[in-house]
Structure 1
């Protein structure tokens, strides 16, 4: 086991403190829990029994959390309620740990009797001269790869075209310190950073043919260049949709022909406007769409 002055321990403790902030944001608002928030818990819990947690009905999970936090019953009776709903007792024990590490240890072993486990951990905490079980768990698990390093490594894989797969990382980025944020920001596409560091976003529909014909966008992937400019605007525009004319593949080359939110329609203008209206979004095109009802066009804000 590492000592409390080792770099491994300090990094692990910092990782756990960051993770706890994210988890607490969900647990404190348990009355409004939804599938997305449960998925956040599943991603961040450390026991393997977390698998499948995101499949639990949010209403049932909210009830179980309310009972766990507010009803004065034994741990054993609460375990029964969790297990009735096919949720492991280790998930319950881990929730208690993240919610109140001053009183509840991380369930890092097989537990037959929770009171015996608690007594054993209290003794360890006292012997280690630490303040709480979060510090104890950091000490006992500091050989693990650090969480922040894993997050940084993962976020560097994000690209504009796969960004939707990384949106969950917003939870963590908001808690990073300025140095860590700047480190990530300097290594990823500006549009990716803009979206991941923004809480509110607006959908944007891009006029594909129009943008690929623009002489003002310099680069082999003009849509990537466009998104770089969009990232400079005050508001964050996400997700982005692209509409091409049906013959676009015969005129241009771009990786965005395979993007999951790319559509083909002739005339493209009609779908661009209708899609923007349906999404309560904006468009990005050098055209002015005079023949349609007004839809905001952010191209003219880019000042390219």
Structure 2
């Protein structure tokens, strides 16, 4: 007889079993999406995971697409997570034949469309310099734009990892105290900072950084009143400062400031359509460095990404931009 188990309990067991085998960011993504799936199941009156059938999975996909208004790439990624979970359920004889029968959405390749150029980044930095100087928002955007850090790398940095005098940050893998790096010890490195970033960071530490420790007694570089910020906190700051109604004082969608603020407070998927998620800042920063003529090999070390992956996923330069850069390098002007 098939064991009856609630969806919440099944998700809890799935995440517990997988935690040791996946990165912290992957665990966070799976936990976030599956929490929404649990809430949806409860709203539909589904008490156990055993009740799920193909129509339920299809309804959840339509709900995420239509009610939550997420794009095709996000929907594809979320349904991929759900499919992995359902495969786990099948391996435990809780459901049967659901995973392989999911009709997956076809993602559009928007990896090169969700970008900001150097001029837009400069406009955002000018706004922050004038109205948010030395705040957490200012230092988070400045660091992400200058270093191309992943969120996990940014929140992993301690106060003692920052060398103001020599202007660099040391990135370290500390899984035992809940700040692992995606590429583990291979991601450890020292990253140089521009002087202007250090000026912002020094003033943030002096004026706005909370003198707190995290649950492991460490002193984070960037902080909230509670300690080390969570991923969603950093995402929220980036979504906020990259809204055109914030840095350019204009809304492309003719929304009122109040409605924009309300959208910002909701789930990340509900962010302003023209705000930029943190990983797109990383992609944009790498592209900007490439446009400045820096080699892929040097950027590979700085950004902790292989040259092959950089070329495939992070080099968003147009062919015209590449041609103009070659013209400059060859002295053909």
Query: Could you state the TM-score of these two structures normalised by the residue count of structure 2?
Result: 0.26
Indicate the structure with greater strand content.
1
